[in-house]
Copies of this chain bind each other. A is one copy, B any other.
């Protein structure tokens, strides 16, 4: 079953296994965008902010994402970029504790580390970002730690932290838990409420298919909504932005975490992407992801003994991507793309594949195995084929 393949315009002639970096174009998106541009921006112009519901989109989109991450209505706000959302969530969490240490791991996405370090430097006064190896996180949860800040699924190898256990461990030592769901939302069965997490952030351009650079989201546990600190208090987080008061007065609840004027065009594409998630059960997606991942690992290991599995072998410790190591990974990746199998390279030696059962199935997996086998057995890679390495995670 690939319940939603028709909901996407997949790149012609490809097995697209890079939806963990950029999800494909939803079939509904071009017409939706045309309508928003011509009938809303073009006809309503400035009145679209009310008449077309633009002003509420950060909240309505948040409510569409909520069921995929175990959140309730009124708990998720969409907009800005993930780096900004991470900054806000961490600053809000730190406002709830007197402790100065933020604990994270070296498998975290670098932008999270950069933003956290930037925030803690700005706060000064003994604040410290403590970075340990992923497997050392639980042991490093001392009583100095105010906030445990982790990305649930590692962007390179797909290692998945145990969100429930680590959140509980953090709470046991009096720390708050902030989760980055960049590689989780739409990928694995996240249950923020069930885990008792405090804050979460994520992006929508990977498994949610919102488009290149689509807006980010922020979730705060309802128990914190009464005292949400917005460290970036832009005007749309104000209780009455159009009263243009000189002093900031935060809007109640998650709306108080809004910052600037949101891109309606970016949100229109995301809204079309969310149509494809209607009626989808994340437990089924997770089951299909594991089935396809196991098939992929078994097939590649049988055909390509030179590739070393970098992802955890235990499916319970894996997100929805599979990575292999090889010194020539960059060239291997390009040789695969030339054969219509799109994964991506991550320095220094990883080739990475996203498993997205919303729109792929065994056919793509088997095609990828066959292409890898052909490239590896024939040593067909050629590292001069492409000049640039960059692709957005």
Collect the chain B residues with CB atoms within 8 Å of residue A347's CB: 242-244
Flag if A46 contacts B346 (CB, 8 Å): no
- Residue among B46, B114, B211, B214 making CB contact with A233, cutoff 8 Å: B114
Flag if A234 contacts B25 (CB, 8 Å): no
Chain A interface, DSSP helix/strand/loop, else mixed: mixed
Flag if B50 contacts A388 (CB, 8 Å): yes
Collect the chain B residues with CB atoms within 8 Å of residue A346's CB: 244
Flag if A48 contacts B212 (CB, 8 Å): yes
- Residue among B11, B42, B54, B241 making CB contact with A24, cutoff 8 Å: B42
Known interface pairs A30-B34, A44-B11; A213-B115 also in contact (CB < 8 Å): no
Indicate how many identical chains form the complex. 2
Flag if A261 contacts B24 (CB, 8 Å): no
Tell me whether A235 is interfacial, beta carbon within 8 Å.
Answer: yes
Interface set, chain A 6-38, CB cutoff 8 A to B: 9, 11-12, 14, 16, 18, 21-22, 24-25, 29-30, 33-34, 37-38
Flag if B211 contacts A265 (CB, 8 Å): yes
Report A's interface with B, CB cutoff 8 A: 9, 11-12, 14, 16, 18, 21-22, 24-25, 29-30, 33-34, 37-38, 41-50, 54-55, 80-84, 87, 91, 106, 109-111, 113-115, 117-118, 122-124, 131, 156, 203, 205, 211-216, 230-235, 238, 241-248, 259-267, 269, 337, 342, 344, 346-347, 388-392
10 A-B pairs in the complex with CB atoms less than 8 angstroms apart = A22-B45, A34-B34, A41-B211, A82-B261, A83-B260, A114-B247, A131-B246, A242-B390, A265-B265, A265-B269
